[in-house]
Amino acid sequence: MSNLPHEPEFEQAYKELASTLENSTLFQKNPEYRKALAVVSVPERVIQFRVVWEDDKGHVQVNRGYRVQFNSALGPYKGGLRFHPTVNLSILKFLGFEQIFKNALTGLNMGGGKGGSDFDPKGKSDSEIRRFCVSFMTELSRHIGADTDVPAGDIGVTGREVGFLFGQYRKMRNSWEGVLTGKGGTWGGSLIRPEATGYGVVYYVDHMIKHVSGGQQSFLGKRVAVSGSGNVAQYAALKVIELGGTVVSLSDSQGSLITIGDTGFTPAEINTIADLKVERKQLSSIVSSPEFVNKFRYIPNARPWTHVGKVDVALPSATQNEVSGEEAQVLIDNGCKFIAEGSNMGCTQEAIDVFEAHREANPGTAAIWYAPGKAANAGGVAVSGLEMAQNSARINWSAQEVDSRLKGIMDSCFKNGLDTAREYATPKEGILPSLVTGSNIAGFTKVAAAMKDHGDWW
């Protein structure tokens, strides 16, 4: 019996990758890659530490802090910090494992890592959050650096937290360096970084739509269901609206906000929700306000997928495992043709199996086409990589320059996954290639080849 602890989220991520490699011709053509899979699935380093801080009442509090430095074959470890009470080693290992291959798909020189704490910023004062961040970074600072490990934000870590963390790092190391991304625009941050993940997933899906339609369709006129209401969901929704689509849902941990009839969210309404989330309030607090009461219905304790009716596109953008097998089938029954993960591992394995089975059984225009998060939501870490490049050169690019580079990276992610799927998992005539298989193999082989060159396996 294995002496390893049960880590369900990490095991799910590993099995999802391994199964797609097994079901392709990769190991037939390159049997030595089995050894690489065994090596890459073990983190290079796992750091765990206590975080002691004082609340506003003068009481001492203690939390657990983590950093999983998973793989540095392609560059410094790169991946976010998550502050949320659900954080544990299994979740961070799953996120770090996914990050390895996501970062590889961007084409930038970044390894994979993830970290965070079970600290909950909700309900805490700015002073309490600052004291926690100071204590957290005091320990983490000895393990990171611009050429070693470059964290970013994630759930619960906004620009405020990044500022507190960066300030403590600078004091501890007496050094100004691009050790964190998602920084403020006046002190090393990149334009388009807050928008990047949401924009990127929309750019990716736009390529999917154009491929299936032979360039005849876009987001124009499409009904789009979005989950979540944080940065990813907000900016994905705004970009969909800009491209002519109709956004019919947003959600948070307490429930879903669904539009009534054929109308969709407006940019002003999304900005109102963005302000609400800055204040760490729930969607339920605005459903009875004059601008929302007659246009939306609020469904408590529910995700949007079974309530949105007919949709063309689904963008899960909240958290992991937010689309079940049953919900996947409802989306298909309601005419959904494209689903792409704005969140990491947004779909359960059961949901992925439903989507992939439908794709394999139906010709292109009749099938639903699924894009995994490691490809579809790579825009966030891509612009983090661009922020690292700007910091290294001590320059700032314009928003147009960064957005143009983001579009190019998402185009490359899509084409790389598509071409790799055709090579290693050739579909039947008229059937769309598997983007999950193609993206997994493309990311894995790039990392495995670098590791072999380094002597990590042979």
Q: Which of 336, 100, 86 is nearest to 205 (CA)?
A: 336
Together in a domain, 344 and 267: yes
Together in a domain, 261 and 142: no
Residue 321 lies in a domain: yes
Residue 442 lies in a domain: no
Rounded Cα distance between 137 and 168, Å, is 6
390 in Cβ contact with 397 (< 8 Å):
yes
Domain with 162 in it? 43-173
SS3 282: coil
Q: Which of 440, 253, 210, 228 is nearest to 342 (CA)?
A: 228
Q: Which of 355, 376, 397 is the last residue of a domain?
A: 376
Token look-up 């320990």 returns: 139
Together in a domain, 225 and 149: no
Q: Which of 278, 267, 197 is nearest to 236 (CA)?
A: 197
**pLDDT for 2:** 60
SS3 66: strand
Give the CATH number, domain containing residue 90.
3.40.50.10860
Known binding residues for substrate: 78, 99, 102, 153, 384
Together in a domain, 154 and 259: no
Together in a domain, 147 and 219: no
**pLDDT for 279:** 86
**pLDDT for 1:** 35
Together in a domain, 167 and 233: no
Together in a domain, 345 and 202: yes
Known binding residues for NAD(+): 197, 231
Together in a domain, 112 and 199: no
Residue 26 lies in a domain: no
Q: How far is CA 142 from CA 44, 136, 172, 225, 411, in A?
A: 16, 11, 9, 43, 37
Residue 316 lies in a domain: yes
**pLDDT for 311:** 98
Which residues of the chain, if any, have pLDDT below 50?
Answer: 1
Residue 413 lies in a domain: no
Beta strands at 112-117 and 149-153: parallel, antiparallel or unpaired: unpaired
Query: Encoding tokens for residue 441?
Result: 């193999």
DSSP-assigned letter for residue 154: -
Residue 339 lies in a domain: yes
Catalytic residues: 114
Going by C-beta distance under 8 Å and a sequence separation of 6 or more, which residues neighbour residue 205? 219, 313, 315, 338, 340, 371, 376
Residue 101 lies in a domain: yes
Together in a domain, 206 and 167: no
Together in a domain, 291 and 154: no
Beta strands at 60-71 and 255-259: parallel, antiparallel or unpaired: unpaired
**pLDDT for 194:** 94
**Which DSSP string do the residues of 75-123 spell out, in sequence order?**
SSEEEEEEE-TT--HHHHHHHHHHHHHHHHHHTSS--EEEEEES---TT
SS3 183: coil
Give the CATH number, domain containing residue 360.
3.40.50.720
Rounded Cα distance between 212 and 214, Å, is 6
Q: Which of 376, 392, 410 is the last residue of a domain?
A: 376
Known binding residues: 78, 99, 102, 153, 197, 231, 384
Q: What's the CA dihedral at 416, 422, 425, 428 to 10 degrees? A: 150
Q: Which of 35, 38, 32, 106 is nearest to 74 (CA)?
A: 106
- Pure H helices in 229-348: 231-242, 267-278, 290-293, 325-333
Q: Which of 331, 345, 241, 250 is nearest to 292 (CA)?
A: 250
Rounded Cα distance between 202 and 379, Å, is 10
Q: Which of 323, 349, 376 is the last residue of a domain?
A: 376
Whether pTM > 0.75 for this model: the answer is: yes
Together in a domain, 303 and 245: yes
Residue 237 lies in a domain: yes
Bridge partners for 151 per DSSP: 79
Rounded Cα distance between 303 and 316, Å, is 10
**pLDDT for 4:** 72
Number of domains in the chain: 2
Together in a domain, 207 and 354: yes
Beta strands at 112-117 and 60-71: parallel, antiparallel or unpaired: antiparallel
